[in-house]
Chain A
């Protein structure tokens, strides 16, 4: 396989993985059955799984109490700002800023 053919096949395959269920699985989402509730809960479950995955990546970069404190402070800042202002972008930026600042404050 040439380099570009791998990239094109990867792009086409990824697209089909997203497209075919959207096209043919939509009727599964209708109604109030168990499958519909399963799909309805999938979004929240995906967000929770992504939080664990991304946080643990950061933790393993520096598995030390300082890293834990930084993560906790950053997370607390996100939740506080999101509580005060329902603005996802602002909460994200403030959380990242607090995480960066905590790294500076807790440095040796």
Chain B
């Protein structure tokens, strides 16, 4: 492929990824809005709230960060908590690489920056049916990032005068992320993979009895992946036809 054609194909893939980020945008925007509101109500300026979303881009740990800062925790304690919460992302990069057609080194930092739980889940779900173009992943992550930063800015901008009324629309928005994950599971579902799903869900549920959610999730992920790694090659090839 000549260089001009390759660039044009990359831009097309990025545009497609951006379009397919719509479901993520719908899921992210209300949560980012809530983050903006909570950050301002915790005493941050709107710029500080947006700054966190711009620089950290890691949903749940941002809420924890703001809460700990508001409670007067020391910088090192806050930093440790954020990094501990995000340790599960250690596994995302190599897993995503199994689904990419190639990993150009110049794109790797951008791909890594956008590798949140939701971007990873969406990419891996799509990656079960076809190999992924890195540019497509970048488009997907760009849509999610814009929604996250934009939602934070909106929430922080109008946050001082806004409070959730707990109405049915707000409650419906609460279900957006679980709905997104369910739809992604349905998209990625192959009958032969049910042991992975059952192991991950069961271990997470059980883990939540003893540990906080982010630790239970890490344990569940590893349990599901371990079960997946024990399958034989024959089972893996059967999977493609079920």
Contact = CB atoms under 8 A, between A and B. Distances in A.
Q: Do A and B come from one complex?
A: yes
B240 to A, nearest CB: 12
Interface in B185-242: 185-188, 193, 196-197, 199-201, 203-205, 208, 213, 216-217, 220-231, 233, 236
A40 to B, nearest CB: 5
The contact size tier of chain B is 35 or more
Contacts of A97: 172
Contacts of A82: 182-183, 186-187
Nearest to A75: B182
Interface stretch (B3-11, B95-103, B150-158): B95-103
B201 A52 contact: yes
Contacts of B108: 19, 22-23
Contact of A103 (B109, B171, B216): B171
B204 A53 contact: yes
Q: Is the interface of A mostly helix, strand, loop or mixed?
A: helix
B56 A11 contact: yes
A88 B180 contact: yes
Contacts of A83: 186
A43 B83 contact: no
Interface string A70-107: 01001100110111001011011101110111011000
A34 interface: yes
Interface string A1-14: 11111111111011
A42 B187 contact: no
Interface of A: 1-11, 13-15, 17-23, 25-26, 28-29, 32, 34-58, 61, 71, 74-75, 78-79, 81-83, 86, 88-89, 91-93, 95-97, 99-101, 103-104
A35 B26 CA distance: 34
A51 B203 CA distance: 12
A52 B111 CA distance: 26
B216 A36 contact: no
19 contacts: A10-B79, A11-B57, A19-B109, A22-B115, A23-B108, A38-B229, A43-B121, A44-B193, A45-B196, A45-B228, A46-B92, A51-B178, A52-B204, A56-B205, A57-B213, A91-B182, A92-B23, A93-B26, A96-B173
Contacts of B183: 78, 81-82, 88, 91-92, 95
Contact of A52 (B51, B88, B124, B220): B220
